[in-house]
Amino acid sequence: MIMLTSLLHRQDLKDIIFRWMSDQLLEEDCGRIKKIVNFNVYITHLYLDSFCNDLFRLLAGGNTWSFYTNTKGDLKDFVLQVAPYSDERHLYLKSRYEKYPEDFYRSTPFRGKIYCSASREHPSYLGHSRIKRFRRVAEKASRRMIDMIFGEIRKRADQLASERASRLGIPQDQLFTPLEEQKEEFAHAERRFLKHLRTGTFQPDEAMVKAAAIHDVAGVKTITDNGRRDLLEAFFHDSPGCTIVEKEVHSGNYDAVNYIIRLTLDKKSLINRPPDARVIDVLAARGLNRATTADDYRDFVDTGEDTVFLEVIASDYREMIESEFGRSMHEERILSQRNQVEYRSSVARNVRYITEYLFLFAVSGKERIHRLPVKLWEKTMPDTYDHAIRELWDIPTVPVL
């Protein structure tokens, strides 16, 4: 159902996610998921860093340097410290941050890379890259799938209402339905959809898959003060294999431009940079075959898609500060999105469980599973899901003496 367009072999991943929603676990899924998730993490770091090096060298007009961060606190500290201006609003936000640092989600995990110009003694922040954490990817993917499922169930509920109106010989818009009957009709439509899913008679069409595509697993934030916006778009147009496929201008509470970029991969370069000994150790700990990793990686790149998609957000420095400390704080926006889910039944909860479980299995030491711990159509306690996650790392749910 879901296409994660920043990844290679995304069609295979989409098919596996759809099968798992139908409780169809194939023997080859386990090894395939391990490769798709883990190789893509490595590959995404490579192509994203190459893209950013080219982009920020142009914006800086010279050489750049970079460093990794592990929490949002690292990013917030740095962008505030090196801000190129100091006005009343900036000083106010700075004083609040210094006085109440606990209000700014400093401990949020954030594996990003910050790019700078000028000297290391007097750095200038150009922007940063980031790859969405598995929890965020699973959360966003499940939200898209929940919306898709909710739409399908509403279609079926409307069909039931239309059938009832037809039996009564009245137009549907004149049909009065008591609340309890509406709830029962919706529950019946939900069961009808789940039956179609279980029996394989439901297949999402191309339009549904396209609408649910997620283009921002890989992303870049760039500062475009001092006329750099034109320079940024010139980079997109002039760089070989780089195409703008979407451009969305945000204004009001948060002023920025979001670009979705299609990037043609330099596969030869990727193949020439296979996982080193340290990365192979990590991959082996996650259940991949150490002896075949080099060959598997080469084949994975060679047979994957030629293009990927990534998000580039362009804003000026003041808007960057607002997005980390002020009126449009990023973490607050994420929490708001989580609260806007319209469909909250056990089906919706199970969609999130199954999606997240897939990514967590991929990075666990378990080489295979023999059954999926959650079925979309069964009511599942959070304790059941918690137990399944603990099993991936052999952590007992109940302490064993």
> Which residues partner with 219 through β-bridges?
130, 311
What six digits make up the tokens of 129? 């890259």
Q: Is 68 exposed, middle or buried (0-12, 13-18, 19+ CB in 10 A)?
A: exposed
At residue 23's C-alpha, the angle toward residues 305 and 143, to 5°, is 65
> Which residues partner with 309 through β-bridges?
262
What CA–CA distance (Å, rounded) separates 385 from 209? 27
pTM assigned to the model: 0.90
pLDDT value at position 178? 62
* Closest-CA residue to 152 (of 222, 207, 94): 207
What CA–CA distance (Å, rounded) separates 251 from 200? 44
pLDDT value at position 167? 77
pLDDT digits (tens, 9 = 90+) for 85-132: 899 999 999 999 999 999 999 999 998 999 998 788 888 999 999 999
What CA–CA distance (Å, rounded) separates 231 from 223? 11
Amino acid at position 269, single letter: S
Q: Please give the torsion angle defined by the CA atoms of residues 149, 154, 157 and 159, in that order, rounded to the nearest 10 degrees.
A: -100
pLDDT value at position 121? 83
Flag residues of the chain having pLDDT under 70.
Answer: 173-179, 181-182, 340-343, 399-401
pLDDT digits (tens, 9 = 90+) for 35-92: 999 999 999 999 999 999 999 999 999 999 999 999 999 999 999 999 998 999 999 9
Amino acid at position 70, single letter: N
Radius of gyration of the chain (CA): 24
